[in-house]
Amino acid sequence: MARDDEQMTIGALGQATGVGAETIRYYERIELLPQPARTAGGYRIYRPEHVRRLNFIRRSRELGLSIEDVRELLSLARDRLRPCARVDRLVRDHIHDLDHKIDDLQKLRAALQRLADSCRGGGRVSECRILEALQEAEETLAEPAVPCAEEECVERRAGDKARARRERPA
Amino acid sequence: MARDDEQMTIGALGQATGVGAETIRYYERIELLPQPARTAGGYRIYRPEHVRRLNFIRRSRELGLSIEDVRELLSLARDRLRPCARVDRLVRDHIHDLDHKIDDLQKLRAALQRLADSCRGGGRVSECRILEALQEAEETLAEPAVPCAEEECVERRAGDKARARRERPA
DNA sequence: CTGAAGCCTGCAGTCACTACAGGGTCAAGC
DNA sequence: GCTTGACCCTGTAGTGACTGCAGGCTTCAG
């Protein structure tokens, strides 16, 4: 039935899809990939359908979809008669998220640029405008032309912060 | 010496800076904030200099600087005679990182938009172009006009992926 | 039959918090 | 002095999505 040259170990599946073996095992653990057959010695054996599914996962992740989004897409894809509005919705929502994120990063960038512009790097730390700005009152870092009530600003900043946190570790 | 009304508990420090008490304790644990004095009963007592330092940290974090960046800034700020070129450099590097990140997100957005445009949400899952595109070959998602050798793309995608991962949880 | 490459499981670490459980402390009011 | 309730303490575990490692087992070519 099954031709031997269609079967592959976890390393070969990784090669075929660009996903590391550790990650494949992780996907199996969280039940994003089904448990594959095993050799007598316990090695996982994969088949072409695993390659397809893993590629689907990888591409979705590359587009920034979360594991839970991918899980939903895979589940939606199984029921071939279901209307695909939900698939469409998921992708559009994600685009919307991205727009927000891009906007936030651009605001952040502008604030940093203002900070950097206040310093030419020639002086001493004691008179460094960057450090002063970080130490001093809020206005120094606020956007110049946007009027905004105190509490709203604090709230928005908290949001920025939560998002900013994820940006850095990359 | 110390006036009583300048002292505060962790909750008051949190109020004064907009940083949660749990986070303040976390900052102390990782030695970003110095260990404060304690009451006989073990309560932390903070003073105005803690408010200043914590505000510095919060503002830096809001600008997307990592904890390690903040640590370096704080350390640089202590030596007031040192030239501030390094401070300047750190901020400019971060702006550079942000530019990359914004660029990546914009590419991601464009790819998702192409995907979404291929589907109007009216059909069935079985003929959904989004799911097909995710299942099929690389070209479907690639940017139309950018020629790029296979391996380079894979490498770049791996980078995008690493970055994309952090974007989602927000 | 041997040796190297590859695979196995399970667990710890990443980043920057956040959220608890199960207790102790403090200040105000009675 | 006592009670109440808000606040604080420590320690630990969880988040997302992996990544890395130790210590051992399997496979297959030579």
DSSP-assigned beta bridge partners for residue B8: B46
Number of structural domains (chain B) is: 2
* Residue A66: Cβ-neighbour burial (10 angstroms; 0-12, 13-18, 19+): middle
Is residue B83 in a domain? no
Query: Does residue B69 share a domain with residue B105?
Result: no
Per-residue pLDDT at A73 exceeds 50: yes
Q: Kindly report the nearest CA distance between residue A169 and chain B, in angstroms.
A: 7
Provide, in whole angstroms, the distance separating residue B43's CA from nucleotide C24's C1'.
Answer: 10
C-alpha triplet B162, B166, B168: angle, nearest 5° = 120
B25 is written with which tokens? 């304790």
Q: Are A125 and B143 spatial neighbours (Cβ–Cβ below 8 Å)? A: no
Residue nearest to nucleotide D21 (CA to C1'): A22
Residues 6+ apart with CB under 8 A from B114: B141
Provide, in whole angstroms, the distance separating residue B159's CA from nucleotide C5's C1'.
Answer: 28
Query: Does residue B68 share a domain with residue B36?
Result: yes
pLDDT at B138: 52
**Overall average pLDDT of the A32-52 stretch:** 96
**Overall average pLDDT of the A23-47 stretch:** 96
Query: Does residue A107 share a domain with residue A48?
Result: no
CA nearest to A20 within chain B: B158
**Is A116 in Cβ contact with B91 (below 8 Å)?**
yes
Provide, in whole angstroms, the distance separating residue A91's CA from nucleotide C15's C1'.
Answer: 27
Choose the mutation target among A80, A131, A141, A151 for the interface with B, i.e. most B CBs under 10 Å. A131
Query: Does residue A121 share a domain with residue A59?
Result: no
* Cβ < 7 Å from nucleic strand D: A 20, 22-23, 26, 39-43, 61, 66-68, 169; B 9-12, 21-22, 25, 42-44, 161-162, 165, 168-169
Choose the mutation target among B62, B65, B66 for the interface with A, i.e. most A CBs under 10 Å. B62
Query: Does residue B72 share a domain with residue B15?
Result: yes
Query: Does residue B106 share a domain with residue B65?
Result: no
- The model's pLDDT over A98-154, given as tens digits with 9 standing for 90+, comes to 999 999 999 999 989 988 888 766 678 787 888 887 776 554 444 443 333 333 333
- Name A residues 28-47 whose Cβ lies under 7 Å from strand C: 38, 42-44
Whether nucleic acid strand C comes within 7 Å of the CB of A161, the answer is: yes
C-alpha triplet B11, B13, B18: angle, nearest 5° = 95
Is residue A20 in a domain? yes
**Overall average pLDDT of the A18-32 stretch:** 95
Q: At A39, which CATH number?
A: 1.10.1660.10
Number of continuous H segments (helices) and E segments (strands) in chain B: 7, 2
Annotate A90-101 with b (16+ C-beta within 10 A) or e (fewer): bbbebbebbeeb
DSSP state for residue B45 in the 8-state scheme: E
pLDDT in tens, chain B (170 residues): 444 568 999 999 999 999 999 999 999 999 999 999 999 999 999 999 999 999 999 999 999 999 999 999 999 888 888 888 888 989 999 999 999 999 999 999 998 898 888 876 667 878 788 888 787 655 444 444 333 333 333 333 333 433 344 443 33
Please give the residue range of the domain that contains residue A39: 4-66
Query: Does residue B157 share a domain with residue B132?
Result: yes
Provide, in whole angstroms, the distance separating residue B93's CA from nucleotide C21's C1'.
Answer: 43
Domain C-terminal end among B78, B101, B127: B78
* Residue A59: Cβ-neighbour burial (10 angstroms; 0-12, 13-18, 19+): buried
A1-6 long-range contacts, Cβ below 8 Å, gap at least 24? Answer: A2/A47, A6/A47, A6/A48
CA distance B113 to B166: 20
Q: Are B77 and A127 spatial neighbours (Cβ–Cβ below 8 Å)? A: no
Q: How many beta-carbon pairs under 8 angstroms link A with B?
A: 225
Is residue B39 in a domain? yes
Please name the helix (run of DSSP H) or strand (run of DSSP E) that holds residue B116, with its range, or none.
helix B85-117
Residues 6+ apart with CB under 8 A from B159: none
